Structure 1
Amino acid sequence: MAKKTNSLPWQDLLQSGNRIFIGSHAAAPQALLADLMAHAKNLHDIELVQMMVLGDNPWVEPGLNDLFKVNALFIGGDQVRQAVAEGRADYTPCFMSEIPSLFKQEVLPLDAALVMVSPPDELGYCSLGVSVDVVSAAVRSAKKVIAQINPLMPRTSGYTFIHQSQIHAFIEAKQALPQLDAPKLDAVTERIGQYVSMLVEDGATLQLGIGKIPEAVLRYLGNHKDLGIHSEVISDGVMELVRKGVINNSKKSFHPGKTVTSFCMGSQAIYDFVHNNQHVEFYPSEYVNSPTNIARNDQMVAINSAIEVDLTGQVVSDSIGHKFYSGIGGQVDFSRGASMSKGGKPIIALPSTAKDGSVSRIVPQISEGAGVVTSRGHVHYVVTEFGVASLRGKSIRERALELIRVAHPKFRKALLEQVRQHYWVPHYQKDYPKDVPELGNLGVKTLKIAGEEFDLRPLNPADERRLQEFFYSHTKETLLLRYNHHPKQMSREKSCTLVSVDQSRDLALCIVKQKGSILEIQAVGRYYLNDADQSCEVAFVTREKHQGKGMAKRLLLEMIEIARVRQLHRMLAYVRADNKPMQKVFEKAGFKRLRSGDPDEVFLELLLQPVEKQPQ
């Protein structure tokens, strides 16, 4: 092992005014930094460059202002956040994939790197352990490398090693790695996890962060198969799915068979899991976070969070107004990489509200002082506890309607009113999306019909163009059977009227086929409420290629159940006399024929509530 220069204390390798990098995440060399703070002597004005550091950050406290000033490339923890807010520390925004080049190209030249490593092996190689990320570039770019050799640091596989000859000074100090408590999940977070898991297909490769939403997503992936990991960070949730065989990396197109990451954080169990684990490989951030490398994974799903999203799809994730909160990190790297991946899906997942539900996180425009981290062009999906907004290929107006749909219901009306001021929606777009609670917590049901999977869900205002396409797909025969004449046009205004439904009163359901951002309506069923006698009139239309497969039956049964829950008295249907297939659908559901005054029309009725016996 390299010896201390001239037997002097290692601090003598430093000078006032130096720029020093300190190890990241769970690998900050706390003993080394404590030794520096205790024996700094006449050192002052040292710039400490750091990423997030898990655990205490005492070097950022006001009493050490003369010795240190922190330059955070990612803000982590209240101590650093407060110091940045008070001007005692700086925040430098940058993509995770590009931070290494700041060191290598001497945009931020490093005089020293203070890092934590494992003891050397028989060949003299130490491992950077649980945090390779930007630490790898720092130790290869800094003029001096000073290490804390920690026997509790795991030896990890991949590009994690530094030879003892590259270390200029060291101390040996045993230090338990800081642990991250498992987050406590609430109902909102779990619902978000369920929705995101529905976007993940078997065989996909995942990137997830740390926190409640990633853990909730992992919890709902237990029934998936052959998932892979290419992620800047892994946690206990990933480890559990590896042990269950859900994550086996067998279908990965880049590094098949390997979990690829750049750092890990969590309990002691995850640190034990990665120790000498040949199946988990750690690589530097410039490799893991390279959008080009990310895109080499087919079906790459990138799952990140945000502070707020505006109605055009712009994502704010590093600041709350003027107050900087975290950093850019790898969100843009992975959003871009996933969008370039074959079958990839960049996802932003966040609760619909903040401050105990008093503030919407889906906003008409971003807050004053807030900065856009991920552009409106990068995001394909935004997920809240109220559903999935699909943005790819959508106009600004369609995006606004999609995002209003997943906003909290109490803010939807105001969001539509506010967005109208900017002419993103036309005058005839009057109604905001409403949920159908009778469809269950998720508001969508997966159906298997003739060997294919479809979704049954409410129609909503964002379906305007899709419904118009659905209309123009029909043959003249279908239009005649549905409308009893040959309508020639379905204007956008008319289509808007048909999808802007007060679902608490009337009902409009559809069966859709969706693959990624491609959506096609296959069938639509409606009922219109008659207040006078609490009855409703039912109608259906199905795309020709699916007629006779049972879609109308599934829609009808769902609508009957909802009408019963809403305590309607009866359902009515008027069917052309020559539409025998539709008559059978109604009759099999229990509808009875009644006398009709029109020989060309069949009138059917289903009683929903027991008929009260008249007193004798």
Structure 2
Amino acid sequence: MPRRIQPSQIADVLPRGARVLVQGGAGESAVLADAIEALGLERPDLSFLGVFIPGVNERTYGAEHGRALTTFFLTGALKRIGDNVQFLPLAYTEILQMLRAEKIDAAIFTASLPDERRACSFGVAVDFLAELWPQIPVRVAHLNAAMPRTHGWAGIPYGELSAVVELDAPLLELREGAADGVSDAIAERAASFVENGGVVQAGIGRLPGACMRALSRKRDLRIHSGFVSDWAVDLLEAGALTPGAPITTGLAIGSTRLYAAAASPQFVFKPVSCTHSASVMAWLSGLVTVNAALEVDLLGQGYAECRSDGLSSGPGGSTDFARGAKLAGGTRMVVLPAEAKGGAVTRIVAPGEGRGPVSLSRFDIDVVVTQHGAADLRCCSHDERARRLIMVASPVHREALQAAWRRYSEAAR
């Protein structure tokens, strides 16, 4: 039987020199994070790693006090720390491979209260830990009545836990922000590429969420996505989804409305080995993926990892879904506003001039959508791809982009 502890006793159950996996998304326990950060300069021997979602998982786990921390996304808090933070820009399937091979000594996470079979559910955060826990010797769970018992994955037996904190607390939430005219225009154009009866995936962010909500008038849709937010409930309530077909996902982050709905059999939670598997997606005929980018260049390459203040992300799941959708004969869509900073900066850029590394190659993007139109890049020459992308750029920047393409073409001859 697990040891029942208070949050302040967390250091007592973590082995000396432990490498600790932290569940991300709404599966992160703010209670346990607070307790670890309250240790201050104590226990510098501990190190942490996790898939910390920017805007949701903003804890540091004492990295500012010398504890090492490995992350696959750079949150604002972690950016400010510096040397003790190791940033690994990996795709989701690569993260899973790494964690499987890594020696992890302990895991901390939120789980549901045990059911009549004494099993605890990982709830709305099944992505990584759900299949990694058997290889991790120390398992510390925050058993929280707010975490719904979800369908699709067996969870963890109560007797397999090492220690538990039993305390009710709100789950972490994600607020996508209100839509505006630009996002509405992009969403309506993106919706035209989704047919009734199709399968859809969306990445994290306000713009992919707006694109999903724009599908409310469609019918018989299915969702296969590594992540869902409140838009999944919106589509369910609008009658846009196939009756009885599950919403397949690994991670749900949104409001309490989403978490209440997630307990329904309509939601089926699976780990990354399923949600991000190319071999699974290959059977989802016509899969349409909708992911955001920060910039797209005139070759059709997408940049999604670097902002004006530096690197903030790895490729996440977008590359996994791009490859899976290709096998499914689907459509890989990238959505973004055509400009930034009040129109002063174009987000359709000259070849190779996107900020940071290329996240999606020109072979991973079929359609680029801005508020000015949709550029379908399939089966196009280089010149035609550039022409179509310039047509969806801001009119203010089109002449400069045409000149940049001419220079590029002349240099390439």
Q: 2:375 aligns with which of 382, 389, 402?
A: 389
Does residue 306 (structure 1) correspond to residue 293 (structure 2)? The answer is yes
Does residue 32 (structure 1) correspond to residue 26 (structure 2)? The answer is no
What residue in structure 2 maps to residue 483 of structure 1?
none
Q: 1:196 aligns with which of 178, 185, 190?
A: 190
- Give matches, 1:142-161, under 5 Å: 142-161=136-155
What residue in structure 1 maps to residue 258 of structure 2?
270
> What is the rounded CA distance, in whole Å, between the counterparts of 1:290 and 1:110 in structure 2?
23
Is the Cα contact below 8 Å between 1:193 and 1:220 reproduced in 2?
yes
> What is the rounded CA distance, in whole Å, between the counterparts of 2:203 and 2:412 in structure 1?
39
> What is the rounded CA distance, in whole Å, between the counterparts of 1:348 and 1:133 in structure 2?
23
Q: 1:98 aligns with which of 94, 97, 115?
A: 94
Question: Secondary structure of the residue that 1:203 maps to in structure 2?
Answer: coil
Does residue 169 (structure 1) correspond to residue 163 (structure 2)? The answer is yes
What residue in structure 2 maps to residue 57 of structure 1?
58
Deviation of the 1:370 alpha carbon: 0.7
What residue in structure 2 maps to residue 234 of structure 1?
228
What residue in structure 2 maps to residue 407 of structure 1?
393
Amino acid of the structure 1 residue aligned with 2:136: A
Deviation of the 1:44 alpha carbon: 0.5
Q: 1:80 aligns with which of 74, 78, 81?
A: 78
Deviation of the 1:105 alpha carbon: 2.0
What residue in structure 2 maps to residue 110 of structure 1?
104
Q: Cα 1:42–1:95, aligned 2, differ >3 Å: closer, same or farther?
A: same
Does residue 376 (structure 1) correspond to residue 375 (structure 2)? The answer is no
Amino acid of the structure 1 residue aligned with 2:215: L
Is the Cα contact below 8 Å between 2:297 and 2:353 reproduced in 1?
no
Q: Deviations over 1:380-408 (max 9, x none)?
A: 11111111111122122211111111111
What residue in structure 1 maps to residue 70 of structure 2?
71
What residue in structure 2 maps to residue 213 of structure 1?
207
Q: 2:346 aligns with which of 346, 350, 360?
A: 360
Structure 2 unmatched runs, 5+: none
Does residue 23 (structure 1) correspond to residue 18 (structure 2)? The answer is no
What residue in structure 2 maps to residue 341 of structure 1?
328
Q: Cα 1:248–1:315, aligned 2, differ >3 Å: closer, same or farther?
A: same
Q: Percent identity?
A: 30
What residue in structure 1 maps to residue 280 of structure 2?
293
Deviation of the 1:235 alpha carbon: 1.3
Structure 1 unmatched runs, 5+: 251-256, 428-616
Q: Cα 1:365–1:97, aligned 2, differ >3 Å: closer, same or farther?
A: same
- Give matches, 1:399-438, under 5 Å: 399-423=385-409
Size of the aligned set, in residue pairs, is: 410
> What is the rounded CA distance, in whole Å, between the counterparts of 2:362 and 2:311 in structure 1?
21
Amino acid of the structure 2 residue aligned with 1:268: T
Is the Cα contact below 8 Å between 2:183 and 2:207 reproduced in 1?
yes
Higher alpha-carbon Rg: 1
Q: Cα 1:366–1:88, aligned 2, differ >3 Å: closer, same or farther?
A: farther
Q: Cα 1:420–1:111, aligned 2, differ >3 Å: closer, same or farther?
A: same
> What is the rounded CA distance, in whole Å, between the counterparts of 1:417 and 1:295 in structure 2?
40
Question: Secondary structure of the residue that 1:421 maps to in structure 2?
Answer: helix
Is the Cα contact below 8 Å between 1:132 and 1:263 reproduced in 2?
yes
Q: CA RMSD in A?
A: 2.4
Is the Cα contact below 8 Å between 2:89 and 2:313 reproduced in 1?
no
Is the Cα contact below 8 Å between 1:304 and 1:349 reproduced in 2?
yes
Amino acid of the structure 1 residue aligned with 2:248: V
Amino acid of the structure 2 residue aligned with 1:189: S
Is the Cα contact below 8 Å between 1:72 and 1:92 reproduced in 2?
yes
More RCO (CA 8 Å, sep 6+): 2
Is the Cα contact below 8 Å between 1:100 and 1:137 reproduced in 2?
no
> What is the rounded CA distance, in whole Å, between the counterparts of 1:117 and 1:362 in structure 2?
43
Is the Cα contact below 8 Å between 2:36 and 2:62 reproduced in 1?
no
Amino acid of the structure 2 residue aligned with 1:28: E
> What is the rounded CA distance, in whole Å, between the counterparts of 2:83 and 2:336 in structure 1?
29
Q: Deviations over 1:102-152 (max 9, x none)?
A: 12222xx21111111011111111000111111223423322111111111
Is the Cα contact below 8 Å between 1:308 and 1:316 reproduced in 2?
yes
Amino acid of the structure 1 residue aligned with 2:116: E
Q: 1:121 aligns with which of 115, 119, 125?
A: 115
Deviation of the 1:10 alpha carbon: 4.6
> What is the rounded CA distance, in whole Å, between the counterparts of 2:41 and 2:78 in structure 1?
24
Amino acid of the structure 2 residue aligned with 1:101: Q
Deviation of the 1:60 alpha carbon: 5.2
> What is the rounded CA distance, in whole Å, between the counterparts of 1:403 and 1:368 in structure 2?
14
Does residue 137 (structure 1) correspond to residue 131 (structure 2)? The answer is yes
Amino acid of the structure 1 residue aligned with 2:65: N
Q: Deviations over 1:10-36 (max 9, x none)?
A: 523324543211111111111122223
Deviation of the 1:186 alpha carbon: 1.2
Deviation of the 1:180 alpha carbon: 2.1
Amino acid of the structure 1 residue aligned with 2:80: Q
| TM-score normalised by length of structure 1 | 0.63
Q: Cα 1:82–1:10, aligned 2, differ >3 Å: closer, same or farther?
A: closer
Deviation of the 1:340 alpha carbon: 1.4
Is the Cα contact below 8 Å between 1:60 and 1:89 reproduced in 2?
no
